[in-house]
Amino acid sequence: MAGQRCGTRRPTALCLSVLLLALTGLVGCARTGGPTDTAAREIQTLLDRHARALLARDEPGYRAALDPAYAPAGLVLYRRLAAVPLEGWSYRVTGVDRAAPGRATVRAELGHRLRGYDRRPVTGARVLDLAERDGRWYVTGERPAKGTPRQLWEQGDVAAVRGARSLVLGVGQEPARLREIAAAADRAVPAVAGAWHPDWARRVVVLVPGSLNAMGELLGEPGSSYRGIAAVTTGETAGGTDAPADRVIVNPEAYGVLGDFGRQLVLTHETVHVATRAHTTPSTPVWLSEGFADWIAYRDADRTPVQAAPELTRAVHDDGPPARLPEDADFAFGGDAEALARAYEGGWLACRMIADRWSEEKLTAFYRAVGAHPGRKGAVEKALHEVLGTTPEDFTREWRVYVQEQLD
């Protein structure tokens, strides 16, 4: 099971707040009416036209914003995006540095939306270099801000495959592989919808980079952190329906060595994260979000608990059941693969126990109740009491017995 692990990245509210404060400070440092303020307005107008030209597939209009020396490189992005069904593309200038005459380094937030999939833009910090000639600004370079993930289309030509319920975007992949992933994603959506009824888009976007290292670039982290991880879902855990859309990012190396069952399991698991995003918040412990995703993925599968939880089975046979439910730190990527697998398996069995001993409806109600709590402290305790009529101590005790029974 370690080779089939998958998961969701969860930026904290603190990090987002610090980022917003930093951006506010950048925008507010220029004096109103000063030269930097004027340049910011002119550059914003230029980038607005630039974005409109991209969306309209107006190559001459897109080229007009590019410095002639940069145009060949700048048009690479324009052409790579031809296959991507964009519905929105925008820049929001957050800071301008004019350290040298006729030159500017611009910090901006780039937002994009995919037609039919994104309710709100997916955003990322960018840095653009501009030069002023004859009273006009021209783009001479663009790149992700330091520490910010790259976009798939910065890695190569993008191929797109549209499924009935999915959009798969790949770089450096055979068309047959992208079609196979789209078919598995199409099967995953109704499987998830059959168990999770709250409103969600019932569509999924899957990104397939060309390598493990390329996957790491899309996540803004070293690819080695995701070795053996078949897929990851990115998304904000702020809760609510206004969060930007999720992206399922496939590790082509780990995913490629799985059999048909493993591949379907992974994509169904990741689709659960997409479906439950509005109800997954910082109050939701990872054992619940990952265990619930595995519970739906295994819900209709012909697998016994021993087959589905081999690492935890070995641990139970050697040392008995775990003393506690998995903690968030147990799900960290890049560490002990067997310990990571045991954490996933323990979370899955906790959710399976709720479905078995209370009901599937109680399990989904419990998930929603935990996510709706205003903070992590007390969230699980309150939901255990109000939805399941139990306490953390009794629940843990019952889970340990259930693990022993199922894996003995």
Which among 148, 178, 198 is the end of a domain? Answer: 148
Residue 22 lies in a domain: no
Residue type, 337: A
Q: What's the whole-number mean pLDDT along residues 135-141?
A: 97
Residues 155 and 253 in one domain: yes
Which among 223, 254, 280 is the end of a domain? Answer: 280
Residues 157 and 140 in one domain: no
At 153, list the tokens: 């289309």
Residue 14 lies in a domain: no
Q: Pick the range with the lowest mean pLDDT from 12-16, 150-154, 205-209, 222-226.
A: 12-16
DSSP per-residue string spanning 185-213? HHHHHHHHHTT--S-----EEEEE-SSHH
At 363, list the tokens: 């399990």
Task: Using DSSP, state whether 300 is helix, strand or coil.
Answer: coil
Query: Per residue in 27-80, pLDDT tens?
Result: 333 333 455 678 999 999 999 999 999 999 999 999 999 999 999 999 999 999
Dist. CA 321–CA 407, nearest whole Å: 9
Residue type, 387: V
Domain at 67, CATH number? 3.10.450.50
Read off the pLDDT band of 99 (50, 70, 90): confident
Residues 164 and 276 in one domain: yes
Q: What is the DSSP letter of 325?
A: P
Residue for token digits 């009416």?
A: 33
Distance of CA 195 to the CA centre of its chain: 21
Dist. CA 332–CA 343, nearest whole Å: 10
Domains identified in the chain, total number? 3
* For residue 404, pLDDT beyond 70: yes
Q: According to the model, what pLDDT value does residue 4 have?
A: 46
Residues 156 and 67 in one domain: no
Q: Is the dihedral of CA 199, 180, 79, 142 positive or negative?
A: positive
Residue 23 lies in a domain: no
Q: What are the residues facing 232 on neighbouring strands? A: 7, 249
Pairing of β 229-234 and β 247-250: antiparallel
Q: For residue 127, what are the CA distances in angstroms to 16, 94, 122, 139, 146?
A: 19, 10, 17, 11, 9
Closest CA to 399 of 341, 342, 340, 325: 325
User: pTM of the prediction?
Assistant: 0.88
Percent of the chain with pLDDT over 90: 82
User: 268: Cβ–Cβ under 8 A, 6 or more apart, which residues?
Assistant: 187, 188, 191, 192, 296, 297
Residue 73: which domain range? Answer: 31-148
Residues 226 and 242 in one domain: yes
Q: For residue 310, what are the CA distances in angstroms to 292, 341, 342?
A: 18, 9, 8
Higher pLDDT, 2 or 64: 64
Count of other CB atoms within 10 angstroms of residue 5: 25
Residue 21 lies in a domain: no
Residue 271 lies in a domain: yes
Residues 270 and 302 in one domain: no
Query: Per residue in 205-236, pLDDT tens?
Result: 999 999 999 999 999 999 998 999 999 999 76
Which among 280, 295, 318 is the end of a domain? Answer: 280
Residue 386 lies in a domain: yes
Count of other CB atoms within 10 angstroms of residue 4: 24
Residues 157 and 81 in one domain: no
Q: What are the residues facing 231 on neighbouring strands? A: 6, 250
Residues 244 and 350 in one domain: no
Q: What's the whole-number mean pLDDT along residues 366-370?
A: 98
* For residue 20, pLDDT beyond 50: no
